[in-house]
Amino acid sequence: MSTVVGFVGLGNIGKPMALRLAGQQQAANLELWVYDVAPDPLAEAQRAGAQVAPSVAALAQTADVVCVMVRDDDQVRAVLDEVLGVARPGAVVVIHSTVAPGTPPALAEAAAAHGVRVLDAPVSGGAMGAADGTLALMVGGEPDAYAAAEPVLRALGSKVVHAGPIGAGTRFKLARNMMHFIAFTAATEAQRLAEAAGLSLKDLGDVVRHTDAVTGGPGAIMHRETTAELAPDDFWHGVFTNVTSLGVKDLGFAIDLAHELGVDVPLAELAIERLGPGLGLPTTSVPAPASGRTKAEKEGEK
């Protein structure tokens, strides 16, 4: 028996996700139905082999797994309201949308009264990852619901993490995206410094992408099970002492250059203070920068 999958929401990421499932129907033993309010993506999905449902309710009547990739919490709630009146007992609703942390547990509680199970499974990897099946999916929910939906999840992505109970997937995604967008903001700070220094921003971007692919970028330091302070005999103490020493040195030079060029770099000034403690080093063991004093400190010396 094929697993009947309903997919609601064929937007920028939802459409390539649905198209990916359409192409995986035979290999993954799936039968795909899709629904969206816009006709064009429905037609594209139909050409790819999906069947088009006339409504969310019609889709949900026969689906074993309903994937939801709509815009926001209100739309997710509206879809679930339509699903719950008609879904089979034991059906699994998978919320791929990134929603507020409290939304998945509340929806799971409402669905349980109808015999429907809920997973929150937001994704990371963008439209490109959705198209080629390399998304990361961060999943929260009960083991039985996860097991029922796992073949669908693995057809969608190459990295599937069952992070814990309902809501864990959303919390996982928010932590991941917090780092993502803070890093974007740091990149804009570095761009301003590079531009003021007369450098090519495109070349800087090429170098960043090249070296991050080699070193792993920020994820390279994320191998510990805890953020607690490191013991002196911990393997990572030596590694992170070296990382911090290099980081404090280079951040200090960069901050001095920024001050010389009249560029504000508040994230860099925060990072030079927090890098070592953030990596788990006691404050007393964090090397002091030879330079890199904040603008306020320098003005106070005048």
| pLDDT per residue as tens digits for the range 225-271 | 999 999 999 999 999 999 999 999 999 999 999 999 999 999 999 99
Listed as own residue / partner, the contacts of 291-298 with beta carbons closer than 8 Å and 24 or more positions apart are 291/252, 291/253, 291/255, 291/256, 292/248, 292/251, 292/252, 292/253, 292/254, 292/255, 292/256, 293/255, 294/255, 294/269, 295/259, 295/264, 295/269, 298/259
Strand residues in the chain grouped as ranges (E): 3-8, 30-35, 51-52, 65-68, 92-95, 117-120, 123-124, 135-140, 157-164
Catalytic one of 159, 173, 202, 298:
173
Could you state, in order of their start, the residue ranges of all structural domains in the chain? 3-172, 223-301
Per the CB < 8 A criterion, the answer to whether 162 and 139 are in contact is: yes
Is 249 known to be catalytic? no
Domains 3-172 and 223-301 share a fold: no
Q: What is the pLDDT of residue 289?
A: 67
Q: Are strands 30-35 and 51-52 parallel, antiparallel or unpaired?
A: parallel
Cα 123 to Cα 277: distance, rounded to the nearest angstrom: 30
User: Is CATH 1.10.1040.10 correct for 223-301?
Assistant: yes
Q: What is the pLDDT of residue 302?
A: 47
Q: What is the pLDDT of residue 294?
A: 52
Q: What is the pLDDT of residue 291?
A: 61
Where the chain has pLDDT below 50, the residues are 302
Per the CB < 8 A criterion, the answer to whether 273 and 231 are in contact is: no
Q: What is the pLDDT of residue 197?
A: 98
Give the predicted TM-score (pTM) of the model: 0.91
Q: What is the CATH number of domain 3-172?
A: 3.40.50.720
